[in-house]
A and B are shown apart, each in its own frame.
Chain A
């Protein structure tokens, strides 16, 4: 394993017109880890990936990929860096295999070397049977798989995946997640951009959350979980008034009426268990208990909402960027 982090990006800024898309973004991702890049739509995740892949010029900041400093967008991205941003695109008049062959040639591989890698990659993404059909006839899911194959033929040590399970059926999504985990296990640094908290939580070791172009959290998923508030559940009982009475005065349990009937319970697992037992002892039947907002999801919403609120107040009070980042952290 290299002594360098796979990605060391510091102070990355990008402005389109008058809009700051990235504001002093730092990102460090390590070999052998899955690093989630999380944020709502329009947060700046894809722009950050474009900057890291040299597709978009940064206005400020420093980027090192696999130990190599990337000075400008006109440089060749280092060997071992691969990825695709947004919806994958190919030449529709070429077959899947011909597309991969073209990209493999651009990587400088000879013809026989390319064919071997293509066969392996197609097998990994489960596209072998359709490889000789024109890409124009592919579904969105097949294109997603082909994009993954195009990345794999570069034998990546740093792989960027931008919402890779979009357009995939559940089986395909599971295959992609398994592949990402396997690559990380083999030492590849995998950066997974997503707006799906559950996907990042289940796959990633570390996460960077971006909102409105600013990093609002960066660290281990375990650390994020520690900071997560209690989960919210929807509770339906035989007697909601009695359930409210049972809840009053209990530590760690917050109960309120849900708009559509039933009760919203905010509690951690232990407090929730104790409350449900107490309901039974009080003769209140529990008819349904379902997860409403997961704990990390609620933290994510809280972090992004705080950032948005912070931006609004910044507009009013002209607070400095420095003050803002302190407030967010």
Chain B
């Protein structure tokens, strides 16, 4: 694998993504969705009280990105994370273009790594846009009042902003793990429906498993458990152990999924 080769694949894959309507629709939803959510909360009388920080969404704009974070962890993050990863390999099967791609001057390692980097890049960009848009929507529509955290401690706007930003950063590892899972399914199944749909279903199933109070040891091994580790950042004192644990579990999923996916692509005969 070469840096130049990797750069060439990432450039081509990024250009291909930018020319697809789906990419623009998803990124537009990430930009405007939080504004629609904040505006709807503002005009309705009831509050999403069954969600963490749901009671505070009319009191502090910093509660808005946290409520969105809680909602998105259910299915939106697995979907966003696998949207490109679950399609980026199987699309070559759909269009029958592997024979065109693999007869250029790039090795399978270059192509695999470039596609994975592009998929991870898309996941990161989508989540960052959603985070920035959520915070902007909260601040503009609700205001910059202090935030009462999970311990009842009042956070100044500066503290609230940094904690909310860290909370969003904390969901990147599990999101990347879902991207890697999507990549694996995309390579092995050669189907975009499987590559995108199955991570969402698996994400929901893992969340349900956590809700029904399954064995703790098993719960801690689920990727989705890492989507909730940000709660520890909004207590006083904050606790970071779940964050580390979530990052390790996410890294394990990430490495195993990508290793199997690469092995599969490397051995594959492009004979169809």
Residues of A within 8 A of B (CB): 16, 47, 50, 53-57, 73-77, 79, 81-94, 98, 102-103, 105-108, 147, 150, 154
Give the CA-CA distance A57 to B271 in the complex, in Å. Answer: 10
Query: How many angstroms between the C-alpha atoms of A113 and B255 in the bound complex?
Result: 37
* Chain A to chain B contacts (Cβ below 8 Å), 13 pairs: A47-B271, A53-B99, A73-B108, A73-B269, A74-B108, A82-B103, A84-B99, A89-B95, A94-B16, A102-B15, A105-B8, A107-B104, A107-B105
Task: Knowing A56-B270, A105-B8, A106-B12 are in contact, say whether A89-B97 is a contact too (CB < 8 A).
Answer: yes
| Across-interface contacts of A82 in B (CB, < 8 A) | 103
Find A108's partner among B4, B20, B96 (CB 8 Å cutoff).
B4
Let me know if A108 and B19 touch, CB within 8 A.
no
Docked-complex contact A93 and B19, CB < 8 angstroms? yes
User: What residues on B are CB-neighbors of A50 within 8 Å?
Assistant: 99, 269-271
Instruction: Check B16 against A55 for contact (C-beta < 8 Å).
Output: no
Q: How far is the CA of A81 from the CA of B8 in the complex (A)?
A: 19
Contact A55–B9 (Cβ < 8 Å): no
Task: Knowing A89-B96, A98-B19, A105-B12, say if A55 contacts B103 (CB, 8 Å).
Answer: yes
**Which B residues touch A54, using CB under 8 A?**
102-103
Judge if B101 is at the interface, Cβ distance under 8 Å: yes
| Cβ-neighbour of A91 out of B97, B98, B103, B108 (below 8 A) | B97
The residue of chain A having its C-beta at the shortest distance from the C-beta of B108 within the complex is: A74
0/1 string, B106-119, CB within 8 A of A gives 1: 11111000000000
List CB contacts (< 8 Å) of B7-32 with chain A: 8-9, 11-12, 15-16, 19-20
Q: How far is the CA of A106 from the CA of B105 in the complex (A)?
A: 6
Bin the interface of chain B by size. 20 to 34
Residue contact B20 to A93, C-beta cutoff 8 Å: yes
Let me know if B11 and A105 touch, CB within 8 A: yes
Q: Is B5 an interface residue (CB 8 A)?
A: yes
Bound Cα distance from A103 to B9, whole angstroms: 10
Q: A57-B269, A84-B100 are in contact. Are A76 and B105 (CB under 8 A)?
A: yes
Let me know if B100 and A90 touch, CB within 8 A.
Answer: yes
Q: Which residues from A are CB-within-8-Å of B97?
A: 89-91
The prevalent SS among residues of B at the interface is helix
Residue of B98, B99, B100, B266 touching A74 (CB-CB under 8 A) = B266
Which residues of chain B have C-beta atoms less than 8 A from A90's C-beta? 95, 97, 100
A87 CA to B97 CA in the complex, in Å? 10
C-alpha gap A154/B106 in the complex (Å) = 13
* Min CB–CB distance A102 → chain B (angstroms): 5
Q: A89-B100, A107-B105, A108-B8 are in contact. Are A56 and B95 (CB under 8 A)?
A: no
When the two chains form their complex, are residues A55 and B102 in contact, meaning their CB atoms are under 8 A apart?
A: yes
Q: How far is the CA of A88 from the CA of B99 in the complex (A)?
A: 9
**B160-197 interface (Cβ within 8 A of A):** none
In the assembled complex, the CB of B162 is this many whole angstroms from the nearest CB of chain A, namely: 40
Knowing A50-B270, A90-B95, say if A106 contacts B104 (CB, 8 Å).
Answer: yes
Query: Which of B9, B12, B100, B110 has the most C-beta atoms of chain A within 10 angstroms of its own C-beta?
Result: B100
Give me the 9 closest cross-chain CB pairs, A-B, nearest first. Answer: A106-B104, A89-B96, A55-B270, A56-B269, A107-B105, A102-B12, A76-B107, A74-B108, A105-B12
Which residues does chain B contribute within 8 Å of A92, judged by CB atoms?
A: 95
Picked from A53, A57, A74, A81, the residue with its CB within 8 Å of the CB of B107 is A74
| Residue numbers in A under 8 Å from B96 (CB-CB) | 87, 89
Contact A89 B9 (CB under 8 A): no
A76 to B2 CA separation, bound complex (whole angstroms):
11
Chain B positions within 8 Å of A106 at CB level: 8-9, 12, 101, 104-106
Bound: A154/B9 CA distance, A: 17
Q: In the complex, A75 Cα to B107 Cα: how many Å?
A: 5
Q: Collect the chain A residues with CB atoms within 8 Å of residue B98's CB.
A: 55
Instruction: Compute how far the CA of A75 lies from the CA of B108 in the bound complex, rounded to whole angstroms.
Output: 7
**Residue in A closest to B20 when the chains form the complex, CB atoms:** A93
Q: Are B105 and A79 in contact (CB under 8 A)?
A: yes
Distance to closest chain A CB from B2 (angstroms):
9
Report A-chain residues with C-beta under 8 Å of the C-beta of B269: 16, 50, 55-57, 73
Knowing A55-B269, A89-B95, A93-B19, say if A74 contacts B109 (CB, 8 Å).
Answer: yes
